[in-house]
């Protein structure tokens, strides 16, 4: 009997999910800025907001949605809602999430109890199939605690990015994600659940919100990461520095960090002009200079894209090897049958 162990990668474009089991570790900020920079550099990028909190709208400056359009599209297997060139950003589209997604896990539990129908990952994939060919890159923002949504995204992406903040809570959140990652890749042998996505890869763990001189702390965090996912766990060389007021300005104005960098330069000129005239500036930026943080995101985006394309090559290689293995099994089967009949 030929065993088909060949589990296809699911999405055609490069795809990555940003995960951590804990909140407030930078998932949404990273999703928005990495996809935004990739689009600014000429990629056709799509962000899918799978978080019921729908915070992504703040980072990109669009009106919040209630998530019901995406919820209905997932259940009906139809085209997801789409905001194209979001906020005038050429090449950056968004599938908006929102509070209706809170109901997804309950719906999935009742479907499972009736043991009918597809998994949430399969439903998500069916809906994205309508639009995936328009993109080079798809980035998923995910919620911190909703395992149904986390598992569904892990089922269909090629790679995982895990931001951690230098605190114990976010390291615990990394542990949760490491467990779901293993579950998606290898299934659960005890409960005889097969792997949902054996092509899933860890793109890397990212240190988020670290002080520029906190090398000791950083070493400690790297040590904890190695304890959880092993020494071989890739940790990105790039890191995102701690800059609370810049992060506040960006979200408050719906600007990505590289956009805020330009705005901060402009506002410097305005400030000097106002000072000379003795005018007061209302709603002034807290940020004086966003260049350092903008550079961090540029470095990170570059590193993630390089890593994704390396992983895609590996997958091609793995796909080729799986095909060869399958062929070998078929040949062995045929040989066995010939020997039996001889």
Ligand X SMILES: Nc1ncnc2c1ncn2[C@@H]1O[C@H](COP(=O)(O)OP(=O)(O)OP(=O)(O)O)[C@@H](O)[C@H]1O
Helix (H, G, I), strand (E, B) or coil at 288: coil
Site for ligand X in 204-233 (CB under 6 A): 209
Q: Does 10 bind Mg ion (CB under 5 A)?
A: no
Q: Does 100 bind ligand X (CB under 6 A)?
A: no
Is the CB of 66 or the CB of 132 nearer to ligand X?
Answer: 66
Tokens of 278: 């003795």
The binder of ligand X chosen from 233, 242, 271, 302 (CB under 6 A): 242
For residues 97 and 103, the answer to whether their CB atoms sit within 8 Å is no
Q: Does 170 bind ligand X (CB under 6 A)?
A: no
d(CA 39, CA 261) in angstroms, rounded, equals: 17
Q: Does 53 bind ligand X (CB under 6 A)?
A: yes
Is the CB of 19 or the CB of 199 nearer to Mg ion?
Answer: 19
- Radius of gyration in angstroms for the set of CA atoms belonging to the chain, rounded to a whole number: 22
d(CA 88, CA 199) in angstroms, rounded, equals: 35
For residues 140 and 128, the answer to whether their CB atoms sit within 8 Å is no
Segment interacting with ligand X (CB under 6 A) among 129-137, 192-200, 242-250, 283-291: 242-250
Is the CB of 69 or the CB of 146 nearer to Mg ion?
Answer: 146
Q: Does 239 bind ligand X (CB under 6 A)?
A: no
Q: Does 31 bind Mg ion (CB under 5 A)?
A: no
Segment interacting with ligand X (CB under 6 A) among 104-112, 187-195, 239-247, 279-287: 239-247
Phi, psi of 207 (to 5 degrees): -80, 120
Segment interacting with Mg ion (CB under 5 A) among 9-17, 49-57, 185-193, 322-330: 49-57
Segment interacting with ligand X (CB under 6 A) among 38-46, 186-194, 241-249, 276-284: 241-249
Site for ligand X in 321-340 (CB under 6 A): none
The binder of ligand X chosen from 11, 15, 29, 70 (CB under 6 A): 29
Q: Does 170 bind Mg ion (CB under 5 A)?
A: no
For residues 45 and 95, the answer to whether their CB atoms sit within 8 Å is no
d(CA 323, CA 71) in angstroms, rounded, equals: 37
Using CA atoms in the order 209, 240, 136, 185, what is the torsion angle rounded to 10 degrees? -60
The binder of ligand X chosen from 101, 240, 304, 305 (CB under 6 A): 240
- Which positions ≥6 away from 333 have C-beta within 8 Å? 1, 2
Q: Does 251 bind ligand X (CB under 6 A)?
A: yes
- Give the interface size with ligand X as a residue count (CB under 6 A): 20
Tokens of 189: 């042998």
d(CA 80, CA 48) in angstroms, rounded, equals: 10
The binder of ligand X chosen from 247, 264, 308, 322 (CB under 6 A): 247
- Give the interface size with Mg ion as a residue count (CB under 5 A): 3
x-marked contacts with ligand X along 140-159 as a string, rule CB under 6 A? ----x---------------
d(CA 27, CA 17) in angstroms, rounded, equals: 9
Put residue 183 in one of left, alpha, beta given phi > 0 → left and psi -120 to 50 → alpha: alpha
Helix (H, G, I), strand (E, B) or coil at 114: coil
How crowded is residue 36: how many other Cβ atoms within 10 Å of its Cβ? Answer: 27
Q: Does 27 bind Mg ion (CB under 5 A)?
A: yes
* Closest CA relative to residue 240, chosen from 20, 17, 30: 30
Q: Does 55 bind Mg ion (CB under 5 A)?
A: yes
The binder of Mg ion chosen from 11, 19, 21, 28 (CB under 5 A): 28
Site residues (vs ligand X, CB under 6 A): 23-29, 51, 53, 55, 144, 209, 240, 242-244, 247-248, 251, 293
């Amino acid at each position: 009997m030929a065993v088909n162990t060949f589990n296809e990668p699911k999405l055609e474009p490069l795809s990555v999910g940003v995960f951590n089991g804990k909140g407030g570790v930078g998932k949404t900020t990273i999703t928005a800025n990495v996809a935004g920079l990739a689009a600014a550099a000429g990629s056709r990028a799509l962000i899918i907001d799978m978080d019921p909190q729908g915070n992504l709208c703040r980072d990109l400056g669009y009106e919040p949605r209630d998530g019901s359009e995406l919820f209905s599209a997932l259940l009906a297997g139809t085209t997801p809602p789409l905001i194209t060139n979001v906020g005038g950003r050429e090449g950056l589209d968004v599938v908006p999430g929102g509070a209706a997604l809170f109901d997804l896990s309950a719906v999935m539990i009742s479907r499972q109890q009736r043991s009918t129908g597809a998994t949430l990952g399969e439903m998500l994939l069916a809906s994205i199939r309508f639009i995936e060919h328009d993109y080079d890159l798809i980035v998923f923002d995910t919620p911190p605690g909703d395992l149904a949504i986390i598992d569904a995204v892990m089922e269909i992406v090629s790679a995982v990015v895990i931001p951690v903040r230098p605190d114990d809570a976010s390291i615990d959140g990394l542990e949760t994600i490491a467990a779901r990652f293993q579950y998606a890749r290898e299934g659960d042998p005890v409960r005889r659940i097969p792997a949902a996505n054996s092509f899933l890869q860890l793109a890397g763990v990212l240190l988020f919100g670290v002080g520029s001189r906190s090398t000791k702390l950083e070493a400690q965090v790297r040590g904890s990461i190695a304890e959880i996912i092993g020494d071989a766990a890739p940790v990105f060389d790039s890191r995102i520095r701690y800059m609370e007021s810049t992060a506040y300005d960006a979200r408050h104005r719906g600007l990505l960090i590289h956009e805020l960098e330009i705005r901060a330069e402009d506002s410097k000129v305005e400030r000097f002009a106002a000072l000379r005239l003795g005018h007061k500036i209302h709603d002034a930026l807290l940020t004086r200079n966003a260049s350092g943080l903008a550079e961090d995101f540029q470095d990170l985006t570059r590193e993630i894209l390089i890593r994704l394309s390396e992983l895609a090559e590996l997958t091609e290689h793995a796909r080729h090897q799986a095909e060869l293995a399958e062929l070998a099994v078929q040949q062995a089967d045929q040989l066995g049958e010939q020997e039996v009949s001889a």
